[in-house]
Amino acid sequence: MELLDKLTILSDAAKYDAACTSSGARRGFKEGMIGCTSSSIVGCCHTFSADGRCVTLLKVLMSNDCSYDCTYCVNRRSNDTPRATFTPRELCELTIGFYRRNYIEGLFLSSAVLGSPDRTTEQMVVTLRLLREEYRFNGYIHAKAIPGTSPELVTALGLLADRLSVNIELPSEASLRKLAPNKTKAAILAPMGQIRDQEAESKAELVKYRSAPRFAPAGQATQLIVGATGESDRHILHLTESLYGRYRLRRVFYSAYVPVVENTLLPALDTKPPLLREHRLYQADWLLRFYGFRAGELLDEDQPDFDPRLDPKCCWALRHPEFFPVEVNRADYETLLRVPGMGVVSARRILVARRTGPLHADDLKKLGVVMKRAQYFLTCSGQLATPLRLSYAGVLASLLAVERAALPVGVQGEQLSLFE
């Protein structure tokens, strides 16, 4: 089979994986090697695909010839679809050729289960070793650890890759049992625990010896599919929180389920992917990681799902009138961060700017505060930013209007009826 055809099949099969970021690793140049991981923290977007997603890595499967039969997946054994498998050398040539031309920051290598998890991972290790050792590739590698792989192979993989991920995909054990009969929660969590421990060990070693081997220096990530099964946002967000806490994950990615299979256990084929819901989950995830929120503050039993019409921070603010208004000239950083329309950058700028003297309402906009949202929640030197106090209903109505206009393109068309 031509390389071009293989690439087509194996990138098509990999495209539903949301993770495409090279962040979290800094590795300088090494003599005689090709490339380095970018020094920028956010990771470098080399292009954006027609669906508006950032492309950083050559994201492909090593093979789509799967022995498993997960109901929701295009690569499942029982599906009639063209199959292909890269040779290690083909993958190396592609990675190097793309990297040199500045198309990518590195390789995201995943695979369907080729016979058994161990056999698949062995092949991945062979490929990555060739890429690192013979092709002297020093760029970013993100590799998938397949649930059920033996610990030695996970170790070998982690020593070659910058980041590992084990995809949870279905956010509960019940859903796994129903839709992915070859996988179990235990088989997924085992490598996650192993990766967490070895990453920590390697960090400690590195402090002592600079040349200690690095194990997945950019940590691990996972992906959850949203909308294939019935879990609530609250369930998903609590799971996320414990993954960040207990398993020290760097990122949790959410992937709105795109129906690819006709099956009574799954949403019908004409179901639109729940992009707005995915967007709200990413916003909430952001609040957990950078804004000091806890999952339990954002959602509870009475309200297990996000109001799709408003961003999670606005929702929280409206439910906590006792917290507001916040005085910009005195509030500390954590408090400022809880104000809708205030970001990490604008909060920091406020801390700097107010040292010279009290801030006024018109300064805030220049400092990057989105006043359309923030105005109801702030005072400047005791003055309300908006002179008249609006009722809850009034604030809600104005925020809804702002939010509707501000939704990222792409989720805008969806569920607009909600706003009507």
Partner 1 sequence: MQWRNIIYQYDGSFDGLLCCVFESYTQKERPTAITCDEDACLFEIRSVVTVPEHAARISRSLRKLSPDVLPLLRRVFLTHLPDKELAIYRFIVKLYREGAPYLTRLSDDAYQPLLRAARQLATEVEHLRGFLRFSVYDGVLGAEIEPKNRVLPLLRSHFCERCRNESFFIYDRTHHEALLYSGGRSHIVPLDDFRLAPPDEEEAAYRKLWKRFYDTIAIRERENPRGRMTKMPKRYWSTMTEFQPENDVGCGDGQIVHDKHGFKNAASPAASPARGAPGARSAPAIRPESAPPAPA
Count helices and strands in the chain by DSSP H and E runs: 15, 11
Q: Of these, 126, 159, 187, 353, which contacts partner 1 (CB under 8 A)?
A: 353
Local structure of 6: helix, strand or coil? helix
* Residue 218 interacting entry, from partner 1, ligand SF4, none, C-beta within 5 to 8 Å by type: none
Query: What's the first-to-final CA gap in the chain, in angstroms?
Result: 53
Among the listed ranges 67-75, 231-239, 312-320, 362-370, the one in contact with partner 1 (CB under 8 A) is 362-370
Provide the H-helix boundaries in 113-222. Answer: 117-129, 151-160, 173-179, 185-208
| 162 and 202 Cβ atoms separated by less than 8 Å | no
Q: Which is nearer to ligand SF4, 27 or 76 (CB)?
A: 76
Q: Which of residues 262-321 bind partner 1 (CB under 8 A)?
A: 272-273, 275
Using DSSP bridges, classify how beta strands 383-384 and 54-55 pair: parallel, antiparallel or unpaired. unpaired
Select from 315, 375, 366, 317 the least CA-distant residue to 345: 366
Distance CA 80, CA 315 (A): 45
Q: Is 68 in the site for ligand SF4 (CB under 6 A)?
A: yes
Which position among 356, 387, 391, 405 is part of the footprint of partner 1 (CB under 8 A)? 356
Interaction of residue 8 with partner 1, rule CB under 8 A: yes
**Residue placing its CB nearer to ligand SF4 in the complex, 62 or 337:** 62
Structure tokens at 384: 């309300």
- Does position 59 interact with partner 1 (CB under 8 A)? The reply is yes
Stretch that binds ligand SF4, among 30-38, 65-73, 236-244, 265-273 (CB under 6 A): 65-73
Our CB check for partner 1 shows the closer of 13 and 195 to be 13
CA distance 354 to 339: 17
* Residue of the chain from 70, 281, 288, 328 that contacts ligand SF4 (CB under 6 A): 70
Shortest distance, position 5 Cβ to partner 1, whole Å: 9
Question: What amino acid is encoded at 203 in this protein?
Answer: K
Distances (CA, A) of 46 to 9, 38, 94: 22, 12, 16
Nearer to ligand SF4, 144 or 338 (CB): 144
Residue 349 makes contact with partner 1 by CB under 8 A: yes
Residue of 76, 234, 251, 309 interacting with ligand SF4 (CB under 6 A) = 76
- The DSSP output letter for 416 is G
Q: Pick the piece of the chain touching partner 1 (CB under 8 A) from 50-58, 63-71, 219-227, 333-341.
A: 50-58
In the bound complex, what is the minimum distance in angstroms from residue 71's beta carbon to ligand SF4? 9
Estimate the crossing angle of helix 88-100 against helix 3-12, to 10 degrees: 90
Applying CB under 8 A, among 70, 94, 180, 342 the residue interacting with partner 1 is 94
Contacts of 295 (CB under 8 A, 6+ apart): 234, 237, 238, 240, 241, 284, 288
Q: CA-CA distance, 22 to 162, in Å (whole number)?
A: 9
**Rounded alpha-carbon distances, angstroms, from residue 196 to 154, 191, 314:** 12, 8, 34
Determine the size of the site formed for partner 1 (CB under 8 A).
Answer: 57
Segment contacting ligand SF4 (CB under 6 A): 32-40, 64-72, 249-257, 362-370? 64-72
CA angle 171, 176, 181 (to 5 degrees): 160
Count of CB atoms within 10 A of residue 74's CB?
17
Using CB under 8 A, which of 118, 297, 327, 363 touches partner 1? 363
Q: Are 298 and 311 in contact (CB under 8 A)?
A: no
Q: Applying CB under 6 A, which part among 25-33, 66-74, 321-329, 334-342 lies near ligand SF4?
A: 66-74
CA–CA distance, 244 with 367 (Å, rounded to integer): 31
Single out the segment in contact with partner 1 by CB under 8 A; choices: 39-47, 144-152, 280-288, 293-301: 39-47
- Name the residue nearer to ligand SF4 (CB basis): 13 or 318: 13
Q: Which C-beta is closer to ligand SF4: that of 19 or that of 112?
A: 112
The binding site for partner 1 (CB under 8 A) comprises 3-4, 7-8, 11-12, 14-16, 28-29, 32-36, 38-40, 44-55, 58-59, 94, 97-98, 100-103, 256, 258, 272-273, 275, 349, 352-353, 355-356, 362-363, 366-367, 408-410
The binding site for ligand SF4 (CB under 6 A) comprises 66, 68, 70, 73, 75-76, 112-113
